[in-house]
Structure 1
Amino acid sequence: MDIKGASVIVTGAASGLGNATARSFAEKGAVVFGLDLQQSIDKAVEQGIDEGITLIAADVTSEDDVKAAIARATEAAPLRVVVNCAGIAPAARIVSKKGVHALDLFETCISVNLVGTFNVLRLAAEAMSTQDTVDEDGQRGVIINTASVAAYEGQVGQIAYAASKGGVYSMGICAARDLAQFGIRVNTIAPGTIETPMLKGLTEEFQKSLEAAIPFPSRLGRPSDYAQLANAIVEHDYLNGESFRMDGALRMAPR
C-alpha cells in the first residue's frame, strides 16, 4: 500500500513507539494524526518532537474523542493506516506484602490497553469500510495493534498488563477475519524490551543485565525498530492476521 497523501492515525503518538512510528509515516508523505492525552502532547510540543504530526488530544477509551479524531483525519484524506500504540504498564502482584492486587488498577489497565485498542480499531474500520479501494485486490486499509511478549510470557507482577496484551494478541486473527470482507488488513506487533525514557533512567548495570538476556542482537529494542516493522507491514499487502514478535529472540524469565 502506498501511503503518500493518505491519512494515518497513530495512538500514543506523543512519545516512544507511537512518536517514532508517526514521524516515519510523515517522512513518507502521509498526513499523520497522532492521538494522545493532553499532558503528553504538551511535553511533546515542549521537546519539539511534534514536527510533521498533527497531535490531537484524545482518550482512546472515549468513543466521542476517537470519532472526532477519525472525522478530522478522513476530512484531510482517505484513512488508510491506523496504528494502536497507546498503553500503560502498571506493575503489581496478585498478593504481596502490600496486600491484594487492586481491582481498579486491573480494570484501568484492561480499559486502556484492550478496550482502548478495540475502540480505535472498530471506529477506524467503520470509516475505512466506506472508502474506495486502492488496488485490484480491493484493499482499503491496514490496522496494526500493539501487544507485547508479556502476552506469551507474563512475568511476576505483570498480571494486569499480560492479560490486557493477551487480549490484544487474541483479537488479531478474529479482527482480520471479520474485516476481510471490507479489504482491511489487521496485524499485531508484540515488542520485547524496548528502550524507553523510563529504562534510560535506570542504572547502566541494570540496563546491561536486560540486554544480556536478549540473544541477538543483544541490545534493547528501539522505537525506530517498531516503526520500521510497522512500515513493512503496511507495504506488504499479503501480511494479514499475523502477530510479529519483535524481541531479538527473547523469551521472558519468570522475573
Structure 2
Amino acid sequence: MQIAQTSAIVTGGASGLGAATAAALAAQGAHVHAFDLASAIEQAPQVDGVTYVATDVTDEEQVRSAVAQASADPAAPLRIVVNCAGIGPSARILGKKGVHDLALYRKVVEINLVGSFTVLAIASEAIAQTEADEHGQRGVIVNTASIAAYDGQVGQAAYSSSKGGIVGLTLPAARDLAQYGIRVCTIAPGIVETPMLATVSDEFRAGLAAGVPFPQRLALPTEYAKLALAIVDNDYLNGETIRMDGALRMAPR
C-alpha cells in the first residue's frame, strides 16, 4: 500500500504510540490527521505533515466530522487508519474498597474497544468510496491491542477485556471489509516507554525491563510506528494480531 500522497488517520495521535506513528507516516509523505482530545493536542509537538483534530473517539458525531475532514482531499485519498487511543487504569474486581467501579469498567471498554470500532467502521465507509489501486486495494486499518489481551495481570480486568475485544475483532473485521479492498491487522505491544510510564521511578522501570527476555529493555514508540508502517507496506498481512513484546509473557502480578 502506497503511503505517499495519501491521507491517514491516527487516533491518540498527540502523544506516545500515536505521536510516533503520525510522525513516521508524515515522514513517508502521508497527510496525517491526528485525532486526540483537545487537552492532549495543546501539549502535542508540531510536526510537518500532521494536522491535529480535536476528537473524542467515544463521540460518534465527532468521529464522523473528523473522518470527513480527513477524507476531503481527492488528491490524497484516505488509505490508512491507526487506532492508538486508549486508557489503562488498574482496579481489582474485589478490592479493599469493594467491587470494581462499574462506571470505570464501562469507560475503559467504551474508549479502548468501542472507540476503536467506531473509528474503524466510520473510516472504512469513507475508504470504501475511494478508487481502488491496480491491485484492488483501498486501505488498511491497524488497531492496537496489548499483550494484556492474553496475559492480563491482577487489576487489569477492564483493560484486558477491552484489548481482548480488539484481538477478537481483527479477523471478522478483515473478512467483513475484504470485499472493499480494506485490510485489518492488530498490534499487541508489550511494555512500551510511553507517557503512562513517565511518572514511575528509574528503579521501577528497570524492574519492568528486566522481565523482558530479549531485548531486555522497554519497547520504544518508534518501534511500534515501524511495525505499523510495515503492516501498511506488506499487502499480504491481513486479519492478524502481531505481538511486539520481546517474548515477554506477563506474570500474574
| Equivalent residue, structure 1, for 2:83 | 84
Q: RMSD of the TM alignment (CA)?
A: 0.9
- CA contact under 8 A between 2:26 and 2:48: conserved in structure 1? no
| Superposed CA offset, 1:184-222 (max 9, x none) | 000000000011223233222111110110000000011
Structure 2 residue 244 is the aligned partner of structure 1 residue 246: yes
Structure 2 residue 218 is the aligned partner of structure 1 residue 210: no
TM-superposed deviation, 1:51: 4.1
- Farther-moved stretch of structure 1 (70-79 vs 152-161): 70-79
TM-superposed deviation, 1:143: 0.3
- CA contact under 8 A between 1:14 and 1:50: conserved in structure 2? no
Separation (CA, whole Å) in 1 of partners of 2:111 and 2:198: 24
TM-superposed deviation, 1:75: 1.1
- Farther-moved stretch of structure 1 (155-164 vs 94-103): 94-103
| Equivalent residue, structure 2, for 1:55 | 52
Structure 2 residue 45 is the aligned partner of structure 1 residue 70: no
Residue type of the alignment partner of 1:145: N
| Equivalent residue, structure 2, for 1:38 | 38
Separation (CA, whole Å) in 2 of partners of 1:150 and 1:247: 11
Structure 2 residue 169 is the aligned partner of structure 1 residue 171: yes
TM-superposed deviation, 1:50: 4.2
- CA contact under 8 A between 2:188 and 2:241: conserved in structure 1? yes
Residue type of the alignment partner of 1:68: S
Q: Secondary structure at the match of 1:33?
A: strand
- CA contact under 8 A between 1:8 and 1:31: conserved in structure 2? yes
Q: Secondary structure at the match of 1:20?
A: helix
| Equivalent residue, structure 2, for 1:111 | 110
TM-superposed deviation, 1:52: 2.9
- Of the three residues 122, 140, 160, the one matched with 2:138 is 140
- CA contact under 8 A between 2:145 and 2:166: conserved in structure 1? yes
Q: Secondary structure at the match of 1:217?
A: coil
| Equivalent residue, structure 1, for 2:184 | 186
Q: Secondary structure at the match of 1:176?
A: helix
Q: Secondary structure at the match of 1:75?
A: coil
- CA contact under 8 A between 2:30 and 2:49: conserved in structure 1? no
Separation (CA, whole Å) in 1 of partners of 2:32 and 2:198: 28
| Equivalent residue, structure 1, for 2:5 | 5
Residue type of the alignment partner of 1:97: K
Residue type of the alignment partner of 2:64: K
Scaled by the length of structure 1, the TM-score of the pair is 0.96
TM-superposed deviation, 1:103: 0.5
Residue type of the alignment partner of 2:69: R
Separation (CA, whole Å) in 2 of partners of 1:49 and 1:217: 31
TM-superposed deviation, 1:43: 1.2
TM-superposed deviation, 1:65: 0.8
- Farther-moved stretch of structure 1 (124-133 vs 17-26): 124-133
- Give the 3 Å change call, closer, same or farther, for CA 193–52 of structure 1 in structure 2: same
Separation (CA, whole Å) in 1 of partners of 2:97 and 2:11: 33
Which residues of structure 1 form unaligned runs of 5+?
none
Residue type of the alignment partner of 1:53: V
TM-superposed deviation, 1:70: 1.1
Separation (CA, whole Å) in 1 of partners of 2:93 and 2:148: 16
TM-superposed deviation, 1:120: 0.3
Residue type of the alignment partner of 2:5: G
| Superposed CA offset, 1:222-249 (max 9, x none) | 1000000000000000000000000000
- Of the three residues 210, 230, 233, the one matched with 1:232 is 230
